[in-house]
A and B are shown apart, each in its own frame.
Chain A
């Protein structure tokens, strides 16, 4: 059976060049970066070389990059690390209402520890209103955290505009760029970002490797205390091979990002244009301010998990924000925040493509999708104007 992977937003295959760059650090240069002998030095050199390459892709200085085990860890570190190191300055935090769970959950935990949180609303595209952000910043606000490119609906925020406001008001700004890093240009200096979450496995790197950009001079504490790795901010024996993988990703994306994006935007827009020809289908997120690889829809009268599994029967891998596929049986908070009703979010579908996606695969999905939607509408008691 034909197999088409359209879930690059979940994870991606590793680029063979990345795997090749990593390999020596498993087998030959396996030293501990903290050791002073030649094996350790070799590992340390690879680590610092990687730091420079990763910093380079976002216009940061190498010493501003901390390697972690995942984007979730980076988000946790940014939020908890800033909150506790700055609680003498204030106890107020601001996030958008469309953050990833890796931000939402630590925020909930911080609320239990006595911090106050404002959730900024978004418009129907998922965009944060800069005026509302400005109004929400209080004297005791210590951190604003807003997702760069949304993992569900793909909307890209005006990061530069948000950064400008935060810098002017003297408030730290963290952005979760797990989905955006390596896919769209990021310049932490121009964008006035203080903390930025990145990871490797969403951009053809290995799983289990993340990073946090921490601007020089920012007051932050570690999550993990121990041997003092990563400038004392992230103790743990360093995952040199994985970090080399992330740095190879950075090198490759620096050269290929723009061409990749152009190619994917073409495929993405074809996916969107053709899918919207299905009656009562709707685009989620912004038509142009979106990740190059993300197409997100809702289809009236049908449910997303059924849609996902029908596509799986045809060999197509996708994802959904439907209540039925979530552990909590609640629909996606992101979709509800954009104004979708429960039943509309129920019929949501995310297609995320990647640099290996072929035109023929897009064609295959466009051939299968209308039939699958039709089939499920035949089963549904609600048929609307479709029949």
Chain B
């Protein structure tokens, strides 16, 4: 296989054929995050179901990403990693898990794996809040940081976001 600039073949294969791409209608949780560094934007949708043991499991997950090769590949990878996992286990996925599963990322693109992880965190936070479920302390902390960063990006992209809302009637957070 030919090589593609700074990217591994795993990155390129997820970029060329992203897994779990798209929107979930009436999702149980949505994570909308933006990258303060470069301006990439990622939306992550989850469907949650109870498993036999009565635990919450991510039964379906989809993403939409406005960003570079690494942003698309990390989005695709996080959906792969989180699908079928319990909420508890999904929260334990780290940015390095994503980068590792992709065979590594260029140093300058490591922030993309943070973004993908943040999107999942936010989707789970959104699910837990909507269902008035207890929020782990660590998750609350992560949510606060992400929220602050996302506000910054939403300001950058306000025209696009406003237009999307007008056209598609997508509800804000």
Q: Do A and B come from one complex?
A: yes
User: Which residue numbers of A lie inside 8 Å of B, CB to CB?
Assistant: 300-303, 305-306, 309, 312-313, 322-325, 327, 329, 331, 341-343, 346, 378-385
Contact assessment for B156 and A384 in the assembled complex, using a CB-CB cutoff below 8 Å: no
Which A residues touch B64, using CB under 8 A? 379-381
Contact assessment for A381 and B41 in the assembled complex, using a CB-CB cutoff below 8 Å: yes
User: How many residues of chain B have a CB within 8 Å of chain A?
Assistant: 36
Contact assessment for B4 and A312 in the assembled complex, using a CB-CB cutoff below 8 Å: yes
Contact assessment for B43 and A381 in the assembled complex, using a CB-CB cutoff below 8 Å: yes
Which B residues touch A379, using CB under 8 A? 18, 21, 64-65, 72
Contact assessment for A341 and B159 in the assembled complex, using a CB-CB cutoff below 8 Å: yes
Which A residues touch B68, using CB under 8 A? 303, 305-306, 322, 324-325
Among B18, B160, B168: residue with most chain A CB under 10 A: B160
Contact assessment for A382 and B108 in the assembled complex, using a CB-CB cutoff below 8 Å: no
B40 at the interface (CB under 8 A from A): yes
Contact assessment for B21 and A382 in the assembled complex, using a CB-CB cutoff below 8 Å: no
Contact assessment for A329 and B164 in the assembled complex, using a CB-CB cutoff below 8 Å: no
CA distance A269 to B66 in the complex (A): 29
In whole Å, how far is B76's beta carbon from the nearest beta carbon of chain A?
Answer: 9
CA distance A324 to B156 in the complex (A): 15
CA distance A382 to B72 in the complex (A): 14
Q: Say which residue of A309, A346, A384 sits within 8 Å of B15 (CB atoms).
A: A309
Which A residues touch B163, using CB under 8 A? 382, 384
Name the CB-closest residue of B to A304: B68
Name the CB-closest residue of B to A377: B66
Q: Scan B1-34; emit 1 where CB is below 8 A from any A CB, else 0.
A: 0001101000010011010011000000000100
CA distance A327 to B106 in the complex (A): 11
Which A residues touch B7, using CB under 8 A? 309
Name the CB-closest residue of B to A305: B68
Contact assessment for A309 and B38 in the assembled complex, using a CB-CB cutoff below 8 Å: no
In whole Å, how far is A264's beta carbon from the nearest beta carbon of chain B?
Answer: 27
In whole Å, how far is B5's beta carbon from the nearest beta carbon of chain A?
Answer: 7
Among A331, A343, A379, A385: residue with most chain B CB under 10 A: A379
B71 at the interface (CB under 8 A from A): yes
Which A residues touch B168, using CB under 8 A? 383
In whole Å, how far is A153's beta carbon from the nearest beta carbon of chain B?
Answer: 20
Which A residues touch B12, using CB under 8 A? 309, 313
With contact pairs A325-B68, A343-B157, A384-B163 given, residues A306 and B15 touching in the complex (Cβ less than 8 Å): yes
CA distance A302 to B164 in the complex (A): 14
- The 5 A-B residue pairs whose C-beta atoms are closest, nearest first, are A324-B68, A381-B64, A305-B68, A381-B43, A380-B66
Which A residues touch B71, using CB under 8 A? 303, 306, 324
Name the CB-closest residue of A to B168: A383
CA distance A197 to B125 in the complex (A): 57
Which B residues touch A325, using CB under 8 A? 68
Contact assessment for B4 and A324 in the assembled complex, using a CB-CB cutoff below 8 Å: no
Name the CB-closest residue of A to B18: A379
Contact assessment for A342 and B4 in the assembled complex, using a CB-CB cutoff below 8 Å: no
A-B contacts, 10 of them at CB < 8 A, read A303-B66, A324-B70, A341-B159, A378-B21, A378-B22, A380-B65, A381-B64, A381-B66, A382-B160, A384-B160
Name the CB-closest residue of B to A343: B157
Contact assessment for A303 and B108 in the assembled complex, using a CB-CB cutoff below 8 Å: no
Q: Scan B76-94; emit 1 where CB is below 8 A from any A CB, else 0.
A: 0000000000000000000
CA distance A343 to B168 in the complex (A): 19
In whole Å, how far is A384's beta carbon from the nearest beta carbon of chain B?
Answer: 6
Contact assessment for B159 and A343 in the assembled complex, using a CB-CB cutoff below 8 Å: yes
Interface contacts beyond A331-B39, A343-B160, A382-B41: sample of 19 additional A-B pairs, CB < 8 Å, sorted by A: A300-B160, A303-B40, A303-B66, A306-B69, A306-B71, A309-B69, A312-B5, A313-B12, A322-B68, A323-B39, A324-B68, A342-B39, A342-B157, A343-B66, A343-B159, A378-B21, A381-B43, A382-B160, A384-B167
Name the CB-closest residue of B to A386: B167
In whole Å, how far is B113's beta carbon from the nearest beta carbon of chain A?
Answer: 14
B37 at the interface (CB under 8 A from A): yes
Contact assessment for A309 and B39 in the assembled complex, using a CB-CB cutoff below 8 Å: no
B67 at the interface (CB under 8 A from A): yes
